[in-house]
């Protein structure tokens, strides 16, 4: 048996390539949209991909299942258990698709896969146990849990409401999740490896561990949310619904495209290298948005093309910025550090459904042409007295609501940067906004968006923890 985790650091997302080395057949579970890398990995290990399975309709990236469905050698395995609202709609009569029921099994050579209905995060969610009969086993070696269970945490039951906008779904989903954990995961043997769909940094949980995998036994002993689900159903519901971070706005769009379908492209679209003159013409046409992906956000703060979004190619900043501030319909003008970074930039954007590339240029080319005429006004908490604000100034805290509730600068209003585009009308345009977070990173992303919308902003870098206090204090 071959097993390999394929991890995307920017989205903290894990897909799995599982193969029978006797027959050469392979399965990919939860692939992202740029499927070429799974084909390469399989070929490099003497395998051919014959099946693709989804744990659920994803909210944080575009699934690669529809791209794989163009391959006549591949069968797509999807859940049949989502009801009218959360059943897959994109497969057509030409799609080689099999809709799985609870406890249904299928095989790749000597590898047996069993689908386990594990609702709560979403109604249709499946987990998959993996049994290696070729190695003589009659019990599963692993369970691929998708967004059901993570290392150190469990899946969010609030996203159908907080991201997809289904009012009243949150608490019933939490109760369903508690039952699923108690009845579907905990009966598995302790030795079964637990292979999660996400790691630390994902917005699909609030306390995800940084190690790539675990075991059912380890999580049974040390996963606080899982222990609570086993011993205290009401306490679990209360705890799992509190303190969840606001999801980026693109989550709602991902739910829709993964259910209903997105255009098949056959790979990441090409992005044309533009001259500074061409770049300026497109930027001035009003049909494109400028996405500045330079890794050094301080360089952006000092100088950038007017109207640019700060979306650094570092950590998860690019996908969080683009996913929060773009609506998915824009044509994108990309500013890159160098030509070598273009592939990583375009792949990350492609994975969240942003694939209309108008072209790219390096910042050096644009700066040399005199186009980099904007900057962000900035200060630092060490030089800033939040108690003495200029007239018509407002403090804007762009951290998550749970962070804000724990403590914030007195008088600050809270709009999480991941939800700012939908709440922009709450911010009057006649004010001057002093924008802060916990370090300056999120505040820089938010400030660039506000500035591009015509707001007057001052970015506050550094930590303001010394000034934080809860409302009751």
Same domain, 320 and 384: no
Same domain, 74 and 217: yes
Same domain, 193 and 325: no
CATH of the domain at 115: 3.60.15.10
Same domain, 455 and 396: yes
d(C-alpha 341, C-alpha 133), whole Å: 44
Residue 312 has pLDDT above 90, yes or no: yes
Q: Is 373 within a domain?
A: no
pLDDT at 472 (0 to 100): 62
Same domain, 253 and 349: no
Residue 462 has pLDDT above 90, yes or no: yes
Q: Can you tell me the mean pLDDT for 298-317?
A: 96
Same domain, 40 and 110: yes
**End-of-domain residue from the set 368, 393, 415:** 368
CATH of the domain at 282: 3.40.250.10
CB 236 within 8 A of CB 225: yes
Q: Which domain holds residue 240?
A: 2-260
Same domain, 159 and 40: yes
Q: What percent of the chain has pLDDT over 70?
A: 100
CB 322 within 8 A of CB 235: no
Same domain, 244 and 114: yes
Reported confidence tier of residue 251, pLDDT bands at 50, 70, 90: very high
Same domain, 350 and 444: no
Q: Is 178 within a domain?
A: yes
Residue 4 has pLDDT above 80, yes or no: yes
Instruction: Quote the mean pLDDT of the chain.
Output: 95
Q: Is 385 within a domain?
A: yes
**End-of-domain residue from the set 368, 399, 430:** 368
Same domain, 313 and 180: no
pLDDT at 227 (0 to 100): 95
pLDDT at 473 (0 to 100): 45
Q: Is 271 within a domain?
A: no
Q: Is 219 within a domain?
A: yes
CA dihedral 82, 102, 11, 241 (to 10 degrees): 70
Q: Can you tell me the mean pLDDT for 378-405?
A: 91
> Which of these ranges, 76-80, 156-160, 268-272, has the smallest mean pLDDT?
156-160
Same domain, 303 and 364: yes
pLDDT at 202 (0 to 100): 80
Q: What percent of the chain has pLDDT over 90?
A: 87
Q: Is 155 within a domain?
A: yes
Pairing of strands 153-154, 214-215: unpaired
How many domains does the structure of the chain reveal?
Answer: 3
Q: Is 14 within a domain?
A: yes
Q: Is 268 within a domain?
A: no
Same domain, 65 and 186: yes
Residue 164 has pLDDT above 90, yes or no: no
Reported confidence tier of residue 287, pLDDT bands at 50, 70, 90: confident
pLDDT at 273 (0 to 100): 98
Among 63-67, 328-332, 467-471, top mean pLDDT goes to 63-67
Q: Can you tell me the mean pLDDT for 89-94?
A: 96
Residue 23 has pLDDT above 80, yes or no: yes
**End-of-domain residue from the set 233, 260, 287:** 260
């Amino acid at each position: 048996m071959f097993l390999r985790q394929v991890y995307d650091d920017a989205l903290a997302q894990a897909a799995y390539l599982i193969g029978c080395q006797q027959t050469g057949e392979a399965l990919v579970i939860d692939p992202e949209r740029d499927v070429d890398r799974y084909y390469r990995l399989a070929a490099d290990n003497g395998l051919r991909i014959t099946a693709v399975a989804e744990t659920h309709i994803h909210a944080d990236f575009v699934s690669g299942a529809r791209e794989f469905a163009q391959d006549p050698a591949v069968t797509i395995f999807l859940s049949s258990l989502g009801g009218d609202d959360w059943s897959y709609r994109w497969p057509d009569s030409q799609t080689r698709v099999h809709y799985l029921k609870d406890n249904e099994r299928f095989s790749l050579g000597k590898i047996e896969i069993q689908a386990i209905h594990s609702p709560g995060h979403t109604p249709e969610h499946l987990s998959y146990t993996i049994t290696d009969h070729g190695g003589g086993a009659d019990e599963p070696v692993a369970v691929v849990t998708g967004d059901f269970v993570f290392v150190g945490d469990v899946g969010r039951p609030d996203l159908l409401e907080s991201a997809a906008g289904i009012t009243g779904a949150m608490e019933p989903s939490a109760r369903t999740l508690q039952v699923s954990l108690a009845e579907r995961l905990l009966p598995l043997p302790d030795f079964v490896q637990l292979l999660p769909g996400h790691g630390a940094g994902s917005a699909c949980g609030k306390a995800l561990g940084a190690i790539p995998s675990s075991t059912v036994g380890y999580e049974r002993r040390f996963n606080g949310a899982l222990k609570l689900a086993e011993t205290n159903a009401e306490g679990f519901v209360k705890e799992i619904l509190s303190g969840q971070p606001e999801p980026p706005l693109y989550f709602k769009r991902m739910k829709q495209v993964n259910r209903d379908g997105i255009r098949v492209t056959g790979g990441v679209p090409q992005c044309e290298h533009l001259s500074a003159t061409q770049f300026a013409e497109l930027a001035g046409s009003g049909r494109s948005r400028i996405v500045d992906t330079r890794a050094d956000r301080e360089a952006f703060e000092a100088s950038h093309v007017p109207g640019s979004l700060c979306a650094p190619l570092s950590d998860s900043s690019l996908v969080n910025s683009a996913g929060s501030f773009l609506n998915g319909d824009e044509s994108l003008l990309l500013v890159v550090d160098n030509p070598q970074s273009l592939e990583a930039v375009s792949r990350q954007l492609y994975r969240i459904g942003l694939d209309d590339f108008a072209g790219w240029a390096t910042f050096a080319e644009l700066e040399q042409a005199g186009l980099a005429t904007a900057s962000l006004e900035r200060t630092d908490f060490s030089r800033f007295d939040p108690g003495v604000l200029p007239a018509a100034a407002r403090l804007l805290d762009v951290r998550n609501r749970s962070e804000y509730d724990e403590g914030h600068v007195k008088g600050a209003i809270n709009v999480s940067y991941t939800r700012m585009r939908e709440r922009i009308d709450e911010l009057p345009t006649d004010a001057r906004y002093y924008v802060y977070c916990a370090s300056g990173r999120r505040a820089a992303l938010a400030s660039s968006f506000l500035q591009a919308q015509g707001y007057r902003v001052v970015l506050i870098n550094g930590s303001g923890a010394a000034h934080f206090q809860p409302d009751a204090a």
